[in-house]
Structure 1
Amino acid sequence: MTQQFAGKTAFVTGGGSGIGRASALALAAEGALVTVAGRTAHTLRETVGMIEAAGGSARYVVADVTDETQVEQAVQAAAAGVGRLDIALNNAGYDGEYQLTKDYSTQMLDHMIALNVRGMFLSMKYEMRQMVAQGSGSIVNMSSGAGLVGVAGFSGYTATKAAEIAMTKSTALEGAPHGIRVNAVCPGLVDTPMIADLPEEQRNSLSAAHPLGRIAQPREIADAVLWLSSDKAAFITGIALPVDGGYSVP
């Protein structure tokens, strides 16, 4: 490892599993002090334990990203002790279930908007406050290839993911004068617990839609997060980067 993030602090929402956990592990392996946040304490403790077992530094804070007070406190916890937040990955999210628009559950849509849109907005709100005060930082938002194209049966999900991309672009413009970069990663199908819950027929159909012929592993998405967070991407802001095996290619 290059230890490219030695001395830096990182904050990861949804850090208890999947892409969030893989990204937290990768950031810590590169030297960052990582604070993972989420709603389930035992999965967060597992992530911290894995990081520490590998020789990294981590801590966790239980927080619901739809609760503004909890988000503010979580960001403060991530900056505690060092007084700065260098990297933030807003990964907490909800994909819901396959339902045609005519049958779409309004309750599911409301929950999706609360977690995906409100949760990401609140996270960026307090991350930006800290980063503007220090005059630097990198925010990566975990959107989806579904925010770039239409996906039948997931109209609510695609709407929230497109909203995440729009928020990313707007906040990137706000952050640029302060030395803050804001980008989004747009994965295709990834081998995570969320995907594991989909019906097998649907999983197979979605996998076949990826021109590379397979789904991604969480570490492959984490690699994109590392790159966008690093000095190698110092002149990149406001993008929505597809990491989707060609899924969103027209």
Structure 2
Amino acid sequence: MTQQFAGKSALVTGGGSGIGRASALALAAEGALVTVAGRTAETLKETVRLVEAAGGSARYVVADMTDESQVKEAVQAAVADLGHLDLALNNAGYDGEYQLTTDYSTAMLDHMIALNVRGVFLSMKYELRHMVAQGSGAIVNMSSGAALVGVPGFSGYTATKAAEVAMTKSSALEAAPHGIRINAVCPGLVDTPMIATLDADQRKALSDAHPLGRIARPEEIADAVVWLASDKSSFVTGIALPVDGGYSVP
């Protein structure tokens, strides 16, 4: 069977665990040469090992996605071998801790803005430069179901994830004339290390809020990423796709 991403290159930021790792595995399984980027070499190496063990191709680059020069270098690394960048998943993010707005840590908010907003913006900035030049490409930004509804105790997080949706829509309109599609995925609660900071009561409350009665597996979010990156969604751009078990249904 022909792999739909054979001969294509992909960049996955935040590729060392969770949704990023699952997406890297899924893209590689479809034939993409995947570059995973993030701050921790050990977890990135493990993602590469898993991809290669499954028969795929991957490499890693250590990069802080809040640092413009490092973002630029990560994108260049993804372009290097094949000379083009076809797919990108901007997944690196930070959800912080449960804190009411009255007690919200300014330092935590600043870090969220730096990674969730600035990091995604910078990633698109350099990804799009290559994609516009080649006249093709697909970008997926990992937002959150929290961008679509209110979540008490996470006002800063919801704000940054809503900003990602807004950036996705604006950039999609800019990129469309160049044959480039940009979309966002908005997961509900996913079984990843990022939710480890939640206590049992918080996790249960969020899980119970999903009409399907459970939280998602990272692979279920990766399936949405693959679809939005593929030609099967060739007439889809500028959307924020909920993959949340019904959490955001009014």
Contact 2:9 2:86 in 1 (8 A): yes
Q: Note the C-alpha offset of 1:83.
A: 1.0
Q: 2:129 maps to which residue?
A: 129
Other-structure match for 1:242: 242
| Correspondence for 1:62 | 62
Question: Is the contact between residue 227 and residue 233 of structure 2 (CA under 8 Å) also seen in structure 1?
Answer: yes
- Summarize deviations over 1:81-114 as a string: whole Å, max 9, x none: 2110000000000000000001111111001100
1:230 equivalenced with 2:230 (yes/no):
yes
Deviation string, structure 1 residues 166-189 (Cα, Å, up to 9, x no partner): 000000001000000000000000
Query: What is the aligned partner in structure 1 of residue 16 from structure 2?
Result: 16
Over residues 58-82 of structure 1, what are the superposed CA-to-partner deviations in whole Å (9 max), with x where a residue is unaligned? 0000000000000001000000021
Q: Which residue of 1 aligns with 2:180?
A: 180
SS of residue matched to 2:115: helix
Q: Is the 8 A contact 2:168 2:184 kept in 1?
A: yes
Which one-letter code corresponds to 2:49 in the other structure? G
Structure 1 residues 210-236: Cα deviation after superposition (integer angstroms, max 9, x where no partner): 000000000000000000001000000
Question: Whole-Å Cα distance in 2 between the matches of residues 62 and 38 of structure 1?
Answer: 5
TM-score (norm 2): 0.99
Note the 1:105-184 alignment, pairs <5 A.
105-184=105-184
Alpha carbons of structure 1 residues 224 and 2: separation in structure 2 relative to 1, 3 Å: farther
Deviation of the 1:197 alpha carbon: 2.3
| Alpha-carbon distance between aligned partners in 2 of 1:218 and 1:196, rounded to the nearest angstrom | 14
Structure 2 unaligned runs (5+)?
A: none
Give distance in 2, aligned partners of 1:13 and 1:21: 9
Letter in 2 for 1:246: G
* Mapped partners of 2:213, 2:196: distance in 1: 18
Residue 2 of structure 1, CA deviation = 4.8
* 1:203 equivalent in structure 2: 203
**8 Å contact from structure 2 (residues 97, 197) kept in 1:** no
User: Whole-Å Cα distance in 1 between the matches of residues 45 and 114 of structure 2?
Assistant: 25
* Paired residue secondary structure (1:88): strand
Alignment of structure 1 residues 63-82 onto 2, 5 Å = 63-82=63-82
User: 1:3: how far off?
Assistant: 1.0
1:215 aligns with 2:219: no
- The count of corresponding residues between Structure 1 and Structure 2 is 250
Could you tell me which residue of structure 2 aligns to residue 34 of structure 1? 34
Deviations 1:20-66 (A, max 9, x none): 00000000000000000000001000000100111110000000000
**Equivalent position SS for 1:153:** coil
What is the letter of the counterpart of residue 150 of structure 1? G
Partner SS for 1:7: coil
Contact 2:94 2:116 in 1 (8 A): yes
What's the TM-score once normalised by structure 1's chain length? 0.99
Does residue 6 in structure 1 map to residue 6 in structure 2?
A: yes
- The percentage of aligned residue pairs carrying the same residue is 83
What CA distance in whole angstroms lies between the structure 1 residues aligned with 2:2 and 2:207? 33
CA RMSD in angstroms, aligned pairs only: 0.7
